[in-house]
Amino acid sequence: MSEATLDAAAVDALVERIEATPGAFEFAQLVRLLARVHPGCTAVGGFGDPADEAVRFGAHPSLAFPPGDVQRVFASGERPEPTDTMPVVPLPVRRANRIGMRGAGGQPFMEVNFLGLIGPAGVLPKMYTQYAAERVAVRDTALRDFLDLFHHRLISLFYRAWRVCRPHVAAGEGADDDILSERLRSVVGLGIGIPARTAATAASPSTAFDDSVLLRHAALLAPHARSASALKQLLSSYLQVPCKVEEFVPAWYRLAPGTQCALGEDDDTTVLGLGTVVGDAVLDHGARARVRIGPMSRTMFDGLLPGTRGHENLKSIVRFVAGDAVEVEVCLLLERRAVPATVLGMGSGKLGWGTWLRTRVPSRDPDDTSFLF
């Protein structure tokens, strides 16, 4: 599943699959899926109210050979017993905990087999599991529900320990305890103390790009001197189009009046072989690089033109990687079949950026659109 918000149909389909085949899911992944289905809940295994967590845990009171880590999942919060057609009435406190949390559906409940005081892997003598199962069979769930008070915290802490040992999980969820991303941000040069920049905060051209763009390429950006290959790979991954970086692009730079050679002056600008330059500009072969991006679709092309959020994000990435010592010329290549015909009054494009006078499909991808960062 993607990190995007799930729609109602996808949620219903996922819940039905979880309830029908809980054994097909690994325990930790199942907890993460339930947390995705119920966003905004208290973190499982945290210090909040257990009733506000995404799932409630319990141990399966049986000595039968377990088919998997998870025995059953009740997404609605009800826990019917297979030995009786009458649904067991939940304890009043459990019903109160469910009211108002996620509507009438209630808090999902998960029975596990791998951990607990009773059950297939229970640490208490087997007689306690047998006794709890016998009481449940006659609709007396007092012992089971009492032990589940401890089971929930025990299993929650087990999941918490699993999660702590896998920092990539917190990084993928964008959680507050995301230690891995914090370390990677320091590696790429966005050290501790600099506010994290996420897709949620990068909502306007004045804000920066999502930090995850850089964190995925931390190994390339860790060296102080970053290479053209690093910039190429990062932009190709970010834009999902071909990119090419040309180094040592010659460019003319105008000299300030005070640094130009003038007859009769007695300074370094008049010393042959040291500072004498004929003219008011100098050709530099090492101060500029050229990045060719594309070919791309018209939609992406328009989204990278000046004045758009995409342009500002692209500028931030290029300047962050290239630094201040190198000037970068960015050339956008529009797919030749996407070149629009310019028609007055039809919004064909921005004059000077995305307009061409043509009578047929160009023979090559146009690369006329360029700007300096």
Band (194; pLDDT cuts 50, 70, 90): low
Task: Flag whether 331 is in a domain.
Answer: yes
The reply to whether 58 and 139 lie within a common domain is yes
Q: What's the average model confidence in pLDDT over 200-222? A: 66
* Residue showing tokens 């040592």: 248
Q: What's the average model confidence in pLDDT over 309-315? A: 91
Task: Flag whether 19 is in a domain.
Answer: yes
Per-residue pLDDT of 98-122, as tens digits, reads: 322 233 347 889 999 999 999 999 9
pLDDT at 268: 66
CA-to-CA separations, 145 to 92, 178, 271, 359, in angstroms, rounded: 12, 34, 94, 78
Q: In the predicted model, is pLDDT for residue 96 greater than 50?
A: no
Band (123; pLDDT cuts 50, 70, 90): very high
Q: Return the sign of the alpha-carbon dihedral for residues 306, 310, 316, 318.
A: negative
Task: Flag whether 3 is in a domain.
Answer: no
For the entire predicted model, the pTM comes to 0.62
Q: Are 77 and 130 in contact (CB under 8 A)?
A: no
Task: Flag whether 297 is in a domain.
Answer: yes
Task: Flag whether 1 is in a domain.
Answer: no
Q: Name the nearest CA neighbour of 53 among 70, 35, 37.
A: 35
> Above pLDDT 90, what percent of the chain?
36
pLDDT at 155: 96
Band (352; pLDDT cuts 50, 70, 90): confident
Q: In the predicted model, is pLDDT for residue 85 greater than 60?
A: no
Q: Are 234 and 217 in contact (CB under 8 A)?
A: yes
The reply to whether 14 and 119 lie within a common domain is yes
The reply to whether 264 and 360 lie within a common domain is no
The reply to whether 153 and 258 lie within a common domain is no
Per-residue pLDDT of 30-48, as tens digits, reads: 999 888 888 888 889 888 8
The reply to whether 41 and 29 lie within a common domain is yes
Per-residue pLDDT of 160-193, as tens digits, reads: 999 888 877 877 776 666 777 888 888 888 876 5
Distance CA 287, CA 170 (A): 41
pLDDT at 245: 95
Distance CA 337, CA 328 (A): 27
Token pair of 293 as six digits: 């991006």
The reply to whether 85 and 131 lie within a common domain is yes
Q: Name the nearest CA neighbour of 75 among 90, 60, 96, 54.
A: 54
Task: Flag whether 235 is in a domain.
Answer: no
The reply to whether 126 and 83 lie within a common domain is yes
The reply to whether 153 and 186 lie within a common domain is no
The reply to whether 303 and 270 lie within a common domain is no
pLDDT at 236: 93
Task: Flag whether 234 is in a domain.
Answer: no
Average pLDDT, the chain: 80
- Count how many domains the chain has: 4
Per-residue pLDDT of 130-166, as tens digits, reads: 999 999 999 999 999 999 999 999 999 999 999 888 8
Band (243; pLDDT cuts 50, 70, 90): very high
Last residue of a domain, which of 165, 184, 218?
165
* Residue, of 207 and 27, whose pLDDT is higher: 27
The reply to whether 21 and 72 lie within a common domain is yes
pLDDT at 78: 57
The reply to whether 51 and 180 lie within a common domain is no
Task: Flag whether 274 is in a domain.
Answer: yes
SS3 (DSSP) at 346: coil
Residue 330: give the domain boundaries: 240-250+285-373
Q: Tell me how crowded residue 317 is: count the other CB atoms within 10 A of its CB.
A: 21
Distance CA 34, CA 11 (A): 10
The reply to whether 57 and 136 lie within a common domain is yes
* Residue, of 195 and 360, whose pLDDT is higher: 360
One-letter amino acid of 245: V
Which residues lie below 8 Å from residue 1, measured CB to CB, with a gap of 6+?
Answer: 10, 33, 36
Asked if omega into 362 is within 30° of 0 (cis), the reply is no
Last residue of a domain, which of 165, 194, 210?
165
